[in-house]
């Protein structure tokens, strides 16, 4: 009875045998050596075999080495098994998706691959199901891109995938496409994308990003990020609420956002400085100035190395007439930050002058007081003397 061998197993054995044979033939070794030398020249990275960074597209990512390309296709949350997957790897085209549905990804490749030596498998990426295509290049070398033309991609509603695709477009300097993807992710409440869009939308930000410049739009996106606890967004939202930039002025809300930021990142001084300025100046009509709270936040930020905060603490102490404490903070400010050194030194000189004037006044008062006491004593002595004569 002839031994039955499954066709798939027979094909796998044939490939393994062929691979083992070709790896040890002189022609194969010669071709591989030439390919590695060509790869080294093309890549300019010190030799073939080096892997390139992962590039993210919309719903997929890919990376390459000298001989291979690996494509990871997100399954959009679908449960995967080999019976439901429809994947094709042709010499210059790939497709991956589910049977009977629009493919997740389909496109013409930038270069040629060996379909016999390429394969696909089911895997997970960051806990999400995906289809991974392992492609073997026919000729080694650097691919400037994955597809020769725009691939067909199933619409994506996952903000993380949209953000990853936006980063991939940024890496390839496709700014318009990147900003559009960041905007879509921000509209789906992705905090990092909202922070990006908020900062990019500010008219006072000097950049060349192709987005609408509007403070109201910037505040909208930054608030999305701030409400999810991003430090930079909370500081910017607090400052905008204090000034009424892109929103209605609201001192109490500004203080809440800045306090949350200061509590979230106690090692940073930006939020503490902004909060100290808010309490120092007040925000009418709902937040009156509070010099004690202002000094508290100025001093905390000053102790963390913020020169502006040390200057603020010194000025508050000077206003209250606590000259020695003021000099301590002003001296610290001049040592910490060159940008406030002149202001701190001027304040120190002013305090020294004020102290000198005060000393002169007290000396003068002391002399007058001594003279007055002496006059009183002489008068008393004269009266007593006259009384004795009588």
| pLDDT value of position 55 | 82
Per the structure block, which two tokens stand in for 160?
């993380």
User: Which parts of the chain fold into alpha helices (H)?
Assistant: 7-23, 26-43, 159-171, 175-187, 191-201, 215-226, 231-243, 251-264, 270-281, 291-303, 307-319, 323-336, 341-389
Whether the CA torsion 293, 295, 301, 303 is positive or negative: it is negative
Tell me which residue of 83, 80, 140 sits closest to 113, measured CA to CA: 140
| pLDDT value of position 125 | 85
Per the structure block, which two tokens stand in for 324?
């020695």
Tell me which residue of 157, 125, 186 sits closest to 58, measured CA to CA: 157
| pLDDT value of position 371 | 58
SS3 130: strand
Measured distance CA(344)–CA(306) in Å, rounded? 13
Whether the CA torsion 367, 373, 376, 381 is positive or negative: it is negative
Measured distance CA(136)–CA(71) in Å, rounded? 12
Q: CB atoms < 10 A from the CB of 81, how many?
A: 8
Measured distance CA(97)–CA(359) in Å, rounded? 87
Distances (CA, A) of 276 to 177, 300, 317, 329, 334: 40, 10, 14, 15, 19
| pLDDT value of position 389 | 60
What are residue 94's phi and psi, to 5 degrees? -135, 155
Characterise 249 by phi-psi region: left (phi > 0), alpha (psi -120 to 50), beta (else). Answer: beta
| pLDDT value of position 49 | 45
| pLDDT value of position 48 | 43
Q: Contact, 287 vs 278, CB < 8 A?
A: yes
SS3 236: helix
Print the SS3 string covering 174-185. Answer: CHHHHHHHHHHH
pLDDT tens across the length of the chain (390 residues)? 444 455 565 565 555 544 444 444 455 455 555 555 544 554 444 444 445 678 888 888 999 988 899 999 998 888 888 889 999 999 999 999 999 999 999 999 999 999 989 999 999 988 889 999 999 999 878 888 899 888 888 777 888 888 988 888 888 888 998 999 999 999 999 999 999 999 999 998 877 889 999 999 999 999 999 999 999 999 999 999 999 999 999 999 999 999 999 999 988 889 999 999 999 999 888 899 999 999 999 999 999 889 999 999 999 988 888 888 888 998 999 898 888 888 888 888 888 887 777 777 766 666 556 656 666 666 666 666 666 665
Measured distance CA(254)–CA(200) in Å, rounded? 21
> b vs e for 28-50, b when ≥16 Cβ sit within 10 Å of the residue's Cβ?
eeeebeebbebbbeebeeeebee
Pairing mode of beta strands 68-74, 60-64: antiparallel
């Amino acid at each position: 009875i002839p031994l039955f061998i499954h066709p798939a197993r027979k094909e796998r054995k044939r490939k393994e045998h062929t691979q083992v044979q070709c790896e040890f033939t002189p022609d194969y070794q010669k071709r591989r050596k030439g390919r590695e030398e060509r790869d080294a020249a093309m890549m300019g990275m010190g030799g073939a075999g080096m892997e390139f960074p992962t590039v993210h597209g919309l719903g997929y990512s890919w990376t390459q080495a000298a001989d291979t390309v690996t494509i990871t296709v997100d399954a959009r949350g679908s449960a995967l098994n080999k019976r439901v997957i429809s994947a094709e790897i042709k010499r210059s085209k790939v497709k991956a998706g589910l049977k009977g549905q629009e493919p997740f990804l389909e496109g013409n490749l930038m270069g040629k691959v060996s379909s016999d030596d390429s394969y696909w498998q089911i895997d997970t990426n960051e806990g999400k199901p995906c289809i991974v295509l392992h492609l073997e290049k026919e000729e080694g070398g650097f691919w400037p891109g994955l597809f020769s033309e725009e691939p067909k991609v199933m619409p994506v509603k996952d903000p993380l995938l949209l953000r990853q695709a936006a980063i991939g477009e940024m890496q390839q300097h496709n700014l318009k496409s990147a900003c559009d993807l960041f905007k879509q992710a921000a509209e789906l409440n992705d905090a990092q994308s909202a922070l990006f869009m908020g900062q990019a939308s500010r008219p006072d930000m000097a950049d060349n990003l192709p987005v609408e410049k509007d403070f109201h739009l910037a505040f909208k996106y930054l608030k999305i990020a701030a409400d999810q606890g991003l430090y930079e967004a909370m500081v910017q939202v607090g400052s905008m609420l204090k000034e009424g930039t892109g929103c209605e002025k609201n001192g109490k809300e500004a203080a809440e956002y800045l306090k949350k930021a200061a509590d979230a990142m106690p090692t940073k001084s930006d939020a503490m400085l902004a909060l100290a300025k808010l309490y120092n100046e007040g925000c009418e009509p709902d937040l009156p100035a509070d010099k004690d709270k202002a000094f508290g936040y100025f001093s905390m930020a000053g102790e963390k190395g913020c020169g502006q905060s040390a200057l603020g603490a010194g000025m508050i102490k000077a206003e209250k007439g606590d000259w020695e404490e003021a000099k301590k903070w002003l001296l610290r400010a001049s040592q910490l930050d060159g940008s406030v050194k002149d202001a701190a030194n001027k304040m120190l000189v002013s305090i020294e002058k004020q102290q000198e004037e005060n000393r002169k006044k007290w000396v003068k008062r002391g002399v007058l007081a001594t003279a007055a006491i002496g006059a009183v004593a002489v008068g008393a002595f004269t009266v007593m003397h006259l009384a004795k004569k009588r």
